[in-house]
A and B are shown apart, each in its own frame.
Chain A
Amino acid sequence: GAGVSQSPSNKVTEKGKDVELRCDPISGHTALYWYRQSLGQGLEFLIYFQGNSAPDKSGLPSDRFSAERTGGSVSTLTIQRTQQEDSAVYLCASSLERGNTEAFFGQGTRLTVV
């Protein structure tokens, strides 16, 4: 596609349920990032994929959070046993490669845990 696509755009889930958020990066982009943005807050880094290298998971807030990237393209962020503090906008970005290239963001998934 023309840009980074995220789905769903909105997700309401009950506390304790698992959710999966999807990111389709721009075709050919080898770097993929996940961030989250809580209401009125800045962007919090979650995880970063670069090509076939091991992902940088240093930003994942707990072991309830995990992400994978299949075939170097689509990525799924999974949150298990959701909590109310997980409510936020989850943003995905991709770039051609990590270094001197521009990063492009999707429109985000707004997750609400009730």
Chain B
Amino acid sequence: EPEVTQTPSHQVTQMGQEVILRCVPISNHLYFYWYRQILGQKVEFLVSFYNNEISEKSEIFDDQFSVERPDGSNFTLKIRSTKLEDSAMYFCASSAEIYEQYFGPGTRLTVT
């Protein structure tokens, strides 16, 4: 069964450093998303992406964040200058034409 994959599974970085989180969505899916979940809190939407551009973004997704689909398979989230409060699980999700969003296993980001 096809699935969303994410790398790395765990990333530790120092405050102020740039990180890139990578995702490979399900191959025939057209819509891509990033969500995050701070420990003990709800899953929060960051950004959605379709047809090589951002469709919607939340107020969390400020100028420190960017997304890119550099080739036909990868979908990346970049955080330019990490802060302590960026420590969270970051989930990539993808969906086909309609509605079911399938989540990847997540990347645990720890900012020290």
Partners in one complex: no
Which residues on A are within 8 Å of B, measured CB to CB?
Answer: none
